[in-house]
Structure 1
Amino acid sequence: MQLTIKYTLTSLAFLLFITCQSQIKNTKTISENIKGNCGMCKTTIEKAGNLKKVAEVNWDQKSKTATISFDSLQTNKDEILKRIALSGYDNDAYLAPDEVYAALPGCCQYERDHSDATMKHENHSTEMKHENHSNNMAHQSHKMEQSSNENTTSKSENHELNTVFETYFSLKDALVLSDAKSASIAASNLVKAIENVKMEKLEHKEHMVWMKILKEINSDVKSISNSKDLETQRKHFSSLSTNFYDLAKASDMQYPIHYQNCPMYNGGKGANWLSKENPIKNPYYGSKMMSCGSTVETIQ
Structure 2
Amino acid sequence: MKIKYQYLKLKTMKTLKVKTAVVLLLTVSLGYSQEKKMMHHDHEKMESGEMKMMDSEIPEFKNGKITASYESYLNLKTAIQKSDQELAKEEAEQLLSSLVKLEGTDRLQKAATKLAASRDLESQKAAFSDFSSEFADFLKGRVAESQLYLARCPMANSNSGGFWLSHKEEIQNPFFGGKMLTCGSIKETIK
Bin for the TM-score computed over the shorter chain: 0.5 to 0.7
Partner of 1:166 in structure 2?
71
Q: Which amino acid aligns with 1:192?
A: S
User: Offset of 1:221 from its aligned partner?
Assistant: 1.1
SS for the counterpart of 2:172 is coil
Per the normalisation by structure 1, the TM-score is 0.40
1:88-119 per-position Cα deviation (integer Å, ceiling 9, x unaligned): xxxxxxxxxxxxxxxxxxxxxxxxxxxxxxxx
Per the normalisation by structure 2, the TM-score is 0.61
1:186 aligns with 2:91: yes
1:260 aligns with 2:151: yes
User: Offset of 1:226 from its aligned partner?
Assistant: 2.9
Q: Which amino acid aligns with 1:285?
A: F
> C-alpha separation between the residues in 2 aligned to 1:263 and 1:223?
22
Alignment of 1:220-235 (within 5 A): 220-227=111-118, 229-235=120-126
Q: Which amino acid aligns with 2:113?
A: K
User: Offset of 1:246 from its aligned partner?
Assistant: 0.6
User: Offset of 1:171 from its aligned partner?
Assistant: 0.8
> C-alpha separation between the residues in 1 aligned to 2:127 and 2:61?
27
User: Offset of 1:265 from its aligned partner?
Assistant: 2.1
Higher RCO (CA 8 Å, separation ≥ 6 residues): 2
Q: Which blocks of at least 5 consecutive residues in structure 2 are unaligned?
A: 1-58
Partner of 2:189 in structure 1?
298
> C-alpha separation between the residues in 2 aligned to 1:250 and 1:167?
20
Q: Which amino acid aligns with 2:75?
A: S
User: Offset of 1:155 from its aligned partner?
Assistant: 6.0
Moved over 6 A (4+): none
> C-alpha separation between the residues in 2 aligned to 1:158 and 1:220?
21
Which structure has the larger Rg?
Answer: 2
Change (3 A) 1:217 1:232: same
Residues 184 and 228 of structure 1 are in contact (CA less than 8 Å); yes or no, is this contact kept in structure 2? no
Residues 73 and 95 of structure 2 are in contact (CA less than 8 Å); yes or no, is this contact kept in structure 1? yes
User: Please, what is the CA RMSD of the aligned residues?
Assistant: 2.3
> C-alpha separation between the residues in 1 aligned to 2:123 and 2:177?
15
Identity percentage over the alignment?
32
Partner of 1:281 in structure 2?
172
SS for the counterpart of 2:140 is helix
SS for the counterpart of 1:291 is coil
Change (3 A) 1:182 1:251: same
Q: Aligned pairs, how many?
A: 133
SS for the counterpart of 2:156 is coil
